[in-house]
Amino acid sequence: MIRSMAVVLIVLSLSLVACGFSNPEATPVPPSPIPTVPAGATFVTAEMSEFLHEDLEIKVNTVVEWINKDATLHTTSHIPSESGVQGLWNSGRLAPGGTFTYHFQKPGVYKYVCLIHPVNMNSTITVTE
Ligand SMILES: [Cu+2]
């Protein structure tokens, strides 16, 4: 009886492993394709690491590519300064290694956050002529 219970336990634990009971956040992400940058535009990268977003000062006609360097999900999501105005970009949940790009074409001060960690991950992109 004990032996058959042990066999059942082993089969159960093997089937749990086979079903992929792993942390979905740890799933490796294939390398992202090289982003398309319009002719004449500048390209810069911004890291999401240690649960922080970067402040950036860039010129008009710059493409920013965010890269998630942490081991958990993050977003880069524009927060409009006026209520009722829709945000300009929202990456959705980026897995570790995931990237998202946005092309800044107008001067201004753009606040953005990670919607999952908005307290620590809130920052500003200042775009000048
Ligand atoms: Cu986050």
Q: What is the pLDDT of residues 19-33, one digit of tens each?
A: 445 555 666 666 666
Flag whether 49 is in a domain: yes
> Tell me, what's the pLDDT at 104?
97
Tell me how far apart the alpha carbons of residues 14 and 64 are, in angstroms, rounded to a whole number.
45
How many structural domains are present in the chain? 1
Q: How many CB atoms lie within 10 A of CB 34?
A: 9
The CATH number of residue 43's host domain is: 2.60.40.420
Give the distance (Å) from ligand 1 centre to CA of residue 27.
17
Is 106 part of a structural domain of the chain?
Answer: yes
CA 124 to centroid of ligand 1, rounded, Å: 15
Mean pLDDT in residue range 75-92: 94
Compare 21 and 81 and report the one with higher pLDDT: 81
Whether residue 75 is contained in a domain is answered as yes
Quick one: residue 19, left, alpha or beta (phi over 0 = left, psi -120 to 50 = alpha)?
alpha
Residue 26 DSSP code: G
Sign, CA torsion 58/64/70/76: positive
108 located within any domain:
yes
- Residue type (1 letter), 34: I
Tell me whether residue 92 is in a domain: yes
Q: Grade residue 81 by pLDDT with cuts at 50, 70 and 90.
A: confident
Any domain includes 85: yes
pLDDT in tens, 28-71: 666 666 778 898 999 999 999 999 999 999 999 999 999 999 99
Cα 8 to ligand 1 centroid, rounded to whole Å = 41
